[in-house]
Amino acid sequence: MPADLTASPGSGRSGGLILLALLVIALFACTAFMTVGVTGGWAFVLQLRAVKLAALLLVGCAIALATVLFQTVSGNRILTPSIMGFDALYILIQTSAVFAIGASGLNLVDKRLLFLGQAALMTAFAALLYRWLFTGAVRSLHLLLLAGVVLGMLFRSVSNILQRMIDPNEFVVLQDRFFASFNTVDTTLLGIAAVIIALAAIAIWRMRATLDVLGLGRDAAIALGVPYKRTTMTVLLLVAALTSTSTALVGPVAFFGLLVANMAYALIPSHRHALTLPAAALIAVICLVGGQTVLERVFAFNTALAIIVEFLGGIVFLFMLVRGAVR
Amino acid sequence: MTRTAAAVAVFLLLAVASLFAGVSDLTPGAVLAGDPAAINLLLTSRAPRTIAVVLAGGSVAIAGLIMQMLARNRFAEPSTSGTVDAASLGMLCATLLLPDMPVIVKMMVAAAFALAGAGLFMGVLARIPLSSPLVTPLVGLMLGNVIGAATSFIAYRYDLLQSLAAWSNGDFSTILRGRYELLWVAFALAALAWFTADRLTVAGLGRDFSVNLGLNYRRVLLFGLSIVAMVTAMVVTTVGMIPFLGLAAPNLASMALGDNMRRAIPLTALLGAGLALACDLLGRLVNYPFEIPIGTMMGVIGSVLFLYLLLGKRFRAG
Amino acid sequence: MIEIRDVRKSYGDATVVQGVNLTLPRGGVTAIIGPNGAGKSTLLTMIGRLLPMTSGQILVDGMDVTHAASNALARRLSILRQDNHIAARLTVRDLVAFGRYPHSHGRLTREDGVHVARALEFLGLTHLANRFLDELSGGQRQRAHVAMVVCQDTDYILLDEPLNNLDMKHAVGMMQLMRRMADDLGKTIVVVLHDINFASCYADHIVAMRDGRVIRKGAPAAIMTADAMRAIYDIDMHIEEIGGDRIGVFYRQPARD
């Protein structure tokens, strides 16, 4: 462990131990995912599952990192990118693209190129929108939260209209091809998603000490010499890129980030992003891979994971709201 | 007064437009000339649809107004208080457990669930420190999400996602004569609220205030929530959820008239019905000949209005 | 030296600070006093570049706070505001160590460790170093925040109403601490105070503001007069010299109509 800023004796070590334990559990979950209930051709099954596992790993990391970053910048533990409508915005952009270009046109465009275009558009939009929300007249956290929730509903309803404006029959075809969900993970985008997430992760890792300072709030961060505007903008851009990537792979997951980030804060006895970020990512992987293994292989539910996450996350959110986590 | 007259005129215009908009040709001329096919179409399909939209819109708007009075919050309404989602869960349970019962029984089950949902919402509100008026709709929306997730899980488990979709997104396109009459009851219940408006107003000022004035707070609260629950259940069973309508109409009415409930009720109902007509009509015209359900249209218009109320200068409450 | 040149701050039509020209000398304790809404805290937060000014210029040792690199300023000047709510769960040592960020950018060197220990010692927090902030009393938490500022080791320290929510004992302790920082560590302290008698007893210079303007400045002896107090606060004050300090008594006011 490098001698990072603000290491208190003990907390670093026990944090490290917890990370190690999480890593072991995550590896165990991955092994179980790959091997439980394999019958017949091992080579074929393993290959199939490896692709799915890779997708789950990427999604887990992307959502966990995006949520922790977003919460650090917004200075609270109840807002998440998806509660604020980030992933609904991505779906809206995706639907608009399908609507504008049409299915036949889309078949000519390379899917990865399309994804990059959408992600870039989304990043720009999200940055503008949330810069306005964060720096504009919106001062109260409650207002920000409620405005975000309602914006998300607006984005979803507009997407819904556009989806119906596309020929209903054509839309069913498009839905399979262009709109991912937990059990139809979009595998063509795996490579490019891996690159984006890796780049983002490297950038975030290099910012980790600055992120710790941002966690003290705006005034303290400026007083300690952090170029505040530039740093928050960078972080919001990273959040938008990560959210686009995870939404492109598995579709929207509203409460997953909230669940994972708060579990990480509860487990790690430190505020340091060098510990909380990897912990959140590992917990996300454990929940996704472990949950999928248990549901798919033990209970034979296929699409239930997203619904269960929604249910649990919603309860956590209500609990936090009732306990007064929002001030 | 001229403003009210204008509202009535716009409403009538929308109602007539709703009668004569549709895939098969129906003109006022043909009806007046006594063309039997035209009259048949009008009586079995167009008139029932228009009446259903008006009844549902008016009663949902009043239910929203009652909810706002009781929760003392201008952002409360059946769809931001877990009530609609609870009604939908009730419908699902009734479909699963009592598949052979008539619609009215299923509706009663849904109403019981809706009442429980609204009660849960009020209970949660009573227990948390309301540091801001914005916490109320947040709690309600999230409570709705949690109930909704439980509902989807059950529906998924028993392969009923298709039926769930039918009542989770409001849609008037399947309304025919004989399929909407329950809405008359909903509207009658909502009208009943008009006679008890004063009590509801007092109850809205809080428990201590009501007790001080000698009002049985619990009974009035239960009465108000029951009306909201019944109206919600009836609308959800016949046409499906219409989000934000109960939020939009009362707020528009109070912008025009202020907060006196007895005066606000008729205008709220009129605005609710007018908004519903406009959304339904727009949904029929935007992608002609296909229809966009009113639930989706209202989702867009309602959330834009909600954002306006939140961020606009007039209501900078947060 | 902090030079404030024709600084203005307005929100829409309301002007909170109107054209302040002021030079704060290096060294010692300077207290900014004045009634509510005089613009004291606004001026202080603009010096600390937490709030952009509408017009004018503020120089700290010749560095323009609006344009200088934020990090370079953070090694010269630190500011502590009134409410410091932190979402993350931090120990006292964690918080104090953040003061080294402008110097080491996240890598704690041995020298940084010495600074942290010294700051904890200076504030008498060594035995609480591993306690979490939310387990401390209000006074202890306030001291922990001041310790971070001490650890930042800047020539200038700006404090915005640091006596808020402190009882008499802790308020006196905080004022003594400012004196020690100025006298023993050679810091320049600029502090916004509400209690005129604390300012009189502990400050070297007093700057009095009213309605967004500086209306009096000078040594405590020059400011602590019945005349000046009426001009600043609009109340009658009886000034008495007790044990070498000038103390204002104002608790009973003649009835006015």
Which tens digits make up the pLDDT trace of B144-201? 888 888 888 888 778 887 778 777 777 887 777 777 888 898 899 988 887 888 788 7
Mean pLDDT to the nearest integer, B218-245:
89
Structural domain tally of chain C? 2
ipTM computed for the complex: 0.84
Cross-chain residue pair C106–A222, CB shorter than 8 Å? no
3-class SS at C255? coil
List the chains bordering chain B where 3 or more Cβ pairs fall under 8 Å: A
Where does the pLDDT of residue C117 fall: very low under 50, low under 70, confident under 90, or very high at 90 and above?
Answer: very high
Structural domain tally of chain B? 1
Q: Could you tell me which of B131, B94, B97 has the C-alpha nearest to residue B114? A: B94
In this structure, of A100-104, A307-311, B63-67, B87-91, the range with the lowest mean pLDDT score is A100-104
Which of A1, A8, A71, A208 would best serve as a mutation to test chain C binding (most C beta carbons within 10 A)?
A: A8
Supply the pLDDT for residue A3: 40
Mean pLDDT to the nearest integer, A109-127:
81
Considering the domain boundaries, does residue C9 fall inside one?
yes
Q: Is A141 on the interface with C (CB under 8 A)?
A: no
- Give the structural domain span for B36: 2-312
> Looking at the partner chain, which of C81, C90, C97 has a beta carbon nearest the beta carbon of A5?
C97
Q: Is the pLDDT of residue A173 over 90?
A: no
Q: Is the pLDDT of residue A102 over 80?
A: no
Q: State the smallest CA–CA distance between residue A269 and chain C in angstroms.
A: 8
Q: Is C144 on the interface with A (CB under 8 A)?
A: no
What is the topology classification, in CATH, of domain A54-322? ABC transporter involved in vitamin B12 uptake, BtuC (1.10.3470)
Supply the pLDDT for residue A8: 46
Residue A189 corresponds to which amino acid? L
CB atoms within 10 A of CB B31: 17
Q: Could you tell me which of A269, A272, A254 has the C-alpha nearest to residue A309? A: A254
Considering the domain boundaries, does residue B287 fall inside one?
yes
Considering the domain boundaries, does residue B151 fall inside one?
yes
Supply the pLDDT for residue B199: 82
B152 contacts on A by Cβ (under 8 Å): 307, 310
Q: State the smallest CA–CA distance between residue B199 and chain A in angstroms.
A: 29
Q: Give the residues across from C189 on adjacent strands.
A: C29, C157
CA A210 – CA A14 distance, rounded (Å): 22
C168 and C146 in a single domain? The answer is: no
In the block, residue with structure tokens 């003649």: C254
A129 contacts on B by Cβ (under 8 Å): none
C130 and C203 in a single domain? The answer is: no
Q: State the smallest CA–CA distance between residue B256 and chain A in angstroms.
A: 24
Check contact B-C (3+ Cβ pairs < 8 Å): no
Q: Is the pLDDT of residue C155 over 90?
A: yes
Considering the domain boundaries, does residue C117 fall inside one?
yes
CATH number of B219's domain: 1.10.3470.10
Contact B315, B73 (CB under 8 A): no
Supply the pLDDT for residue A327: 43
C164 and C147 in a single domain? The answer is: no
User: Each residue of C198-220: pLDDT tens digit?
Assistant: 999 999 999 999 999 999 999 99
Check contact A-B (3+ Cβ pairs < 8 Å): yes
Q: State the smallest CA–CA distance between residue B149 and chain A in angstroms.
A: 5
Considering the domain boundaries, does residue C188 fall inside one?
yes
Q: Could you tell me which of B131, B115, B116 has the C-alpha nearest to residue A321? A: B131
Cross-chain residue pair C98–A265, CB shorter than 8 Å? no
pTM beyond 0.90? no
Cross-chain residue pair A156–B243, CB shorter than 8 Å? no
A270 contacts on C by Cβ (under 8 Å): 94
In this structure, of A249-263, C25-39, C67-81, C191-205, the range with the lowest mean pLDDT score is A249-263
**CA atoms lying within 13 Å on the CB side of residue A245:** 30
CATH number of C11's domain: 3.40.50.300
Between strands C156-160 and C77-80, the pairing is: parallel
Considering the domain boundaries, does residue B318 fall inside one?
no
Q: Is the pLDDT of residue C7 over 90?
A: yes
User: Each residue of C214-243: pLDDT tens digit?
Assistant: 999 999 999 999 999 999 999 989 998 898
Using an 8 Å CB-CB cutoff, list residues of chain B that contact chain A.
Answer: 75, 124, 127-129, 131-132, 134-135, 137-139, 141-143, 145-146, 149-150, 152-153, 156-157, 243, 286-287, 290, 292, 296-297, 299-300, 303-304, 306-307, 310-311, 316, 318
Which of B74, B139, B142, B285 would best serve as a mutation to test chain A binding (most A beta carbons within 10 A)?
A: B142
Mean pLDDT to the nearest integer, C64-77:
90
CA C78 – CA C189 distance, rounded (Å): 10
Mean pLDDT to the nearest integer, B5-16:
86
C68 and C36 in a single domain? The answer is: yes
Supply the pLDDT for residue A324: 62
Supply the pLDDT for residue B258: 67
**Which range has highest mean pLDDT (A71-85, B22-36, B113-127)?**
B113-127
C149 and C164 in a single domain? The answer is: no
Supply the pLDDT for residue A42: 79
Considering the domain boundaries, does residue C178 fall inside one?
no
Nearest CA in chain B to A315: B146
Nearest CA in chain C to A1: C107
Nearest CA in chain C to A227: C70
3-class SS at C159? strand
Supply the pLDDT for residue A273: 92
Supply the pLDDT for residue A301: 67
Q: Give Cβ neighbours of residue B262 (< 8 Å, ≥ 6 apart).
A: B194, B197, B198, B201
Q: Is A6 on the interface with C (CB under 8 A)?
A: yes
Contact B66, B193 (CB under 8 A): yes
Nearest CA in chain B to A299: B157
- Give the structural domain span for C137: 85-153
Beta-strand runs (E) in C55-179: 55-60, 63-64, 77-80, 156-160
List the chains bordering chain C where 3 or more Cβ pairs fall under 8 Å: A
Considering the domain boundaries, does residue B102 fall inside one?
yes
C5 and C29 in a single domain? The answer is: yes
Cross-chain residue pair B145–A254, CB shorter than 8 Å? yes
